[in-house]
Structure 1
Amino acid sequence: MQKIHILMVCLGNVCRSPTAHGVLDKLIKDKRLDGRLEVDSAGTGSFHLSVSPDTRAIRAAHARGCDLSRLRARQINASDYESFDLILAMDKSNLSDLHERCPPHFRQKLGLFLSWSQSGLEEVPDHYCSGSLGFELVLELAEEVCGALIDEFID
């Protein structure tokens, strides 16, 4: 079976997408799926290039056994549309940005992260300017969706 490559995308790649990246990466390691799934994250904006995830995101993820400390923010680039099998935006604004930049023949790879959630939410709230509860909500959503992604693509 060919390895599936998944890209998580938010605006700055310092909170939501690295959190989802870290959660899925932990599940991949825990379930020994390294040869079957690969995850990365990126931002549609270029504000935080090469910066570590927000320290609040790192702390909240660490409390759940996820290590985000090695991740660095990057901006999505043209080759990502070809390289990744699934590109998941955290919200509609970022999905719209992805659609504008994506070559038409790769647009079927684009989607909303919460399409795999039973939460009733369509968008992952941007918790960059919020307190610690926002980071916990994003982690809960990421754990649900990443589990569903593994169920769909692996089990």
Structure 2
Amino acid sequence: MRHKLRKAGLHEAVRVDSAGTHAWHAGAPPDYRSAHHAARRGYDLSALRAREVVDVDFDRFDLILAMDWDNLALLEDRCPPAHLRKLGRLTEHCRRHDSPVVPDPYAGGPQGFEEVLDLVEDACDGLLELIRRQTPAR
């Protein structure tokens, strides 16, 4: 998403972050396979580090998107009622693919990582359209 926002000139208008619903990998870089497949498409993940969702995230962000139903349910359980409208699934923004969730790539071998990237890119394109509609012209 950061890459697409930068190319669209909207990187200063939108704040993007990534966090997990558990702290299992907090502080760790992305899995080497994720980084490898992302790099093949021109994305540099080397500066990213895992972190867990914290309560202030529900105040700080306008949109909080989960990759799958389980993580969405965990977010819903933690989210203050006033912010539940901010929650959704990333794939709700897909334009070309029809998948309710972004699957776990680890069991799918190299193709699993490519499928995840296809879905995430598609959803980010949809999000970029939404952001363009909601961002005043400069």
After TM superposition, the score normalised by the length of structure 2 is 0.92
CA shift, 1:130, in A, is: 3.1
| CA offset digits 1:5-46 (Å, max 9, x no partner) | xxxxxxxxxxxxxxxxxxx01111112212221211000011
Please name the residue that 1:110 is paired with: 87
Choose which of 18, 38, 41 in structure 2 pairs with 1:41: 18
User: Do 2:66 and 2:88's aligned partners in 1 also have CA atoms closer than 8 Å?
Assistant: yes
Which runs of no fewer than 5 residues in structure 1 stay unpaired?
Answer: 1-23
Which has the higher relative contact order, 1 or 2, with Cα contacts under 8 A spaced 6 or more apart? 1
1:124 paired to 2:102:
yes
Q: Could you say which structure has the higher strand fraction?
A: 1
User: Do 2:35 and 2:44's aligned partners in 1 also have CA atoms closer than 8 Å?
Assistant: yes
Aligned AA (1:141): L
Please name the residue that 1:151 is paired with: 129
1:142 paired to 2:120:
yes
SS in 1 for 2:111: helix
Please name the residue that 1:95 is paired with: 72
Please name the residue that 2:136 is paired with: none
Cα distance in 2 for residues equivalent to 1:70 and 1:132 = 22
Cα distance in 2 for residues equivalent to 1:28 and 1:78 = 26
CA shift, 1:55, in A, is: 0.3
| CA offset digits 1:42-85 (Å, max 9, x no partner) | 00011101000000000100111111110000000000000000
User: Do 2:94 and 2:124's aligned partners in 1 also have CA atoms closer than 8 Å?
Assistant: no
After TM superposition, the score normalised by the length of structure 1 is 0.82
RMSD: 1.0
Cα distance in 1 for residues equivalent to 2:23 and 2:130 = 32
Aligned AA (1:149): L
Please name the residue that 1:10 is paired with: none
Tell me the percent identity.
41
SS in 1 for 2:105: coil
Which runs of no fewer than 5 residues in structure 2 stay unpaired?
Answer: 134-138
The structure with the larger Rg is: 2
SS in 2 for 1:42: coil
Cα distance in 2 for residues equivalent to 1:48 and 1:120 = 29
1:55 paired to 2:22:
no
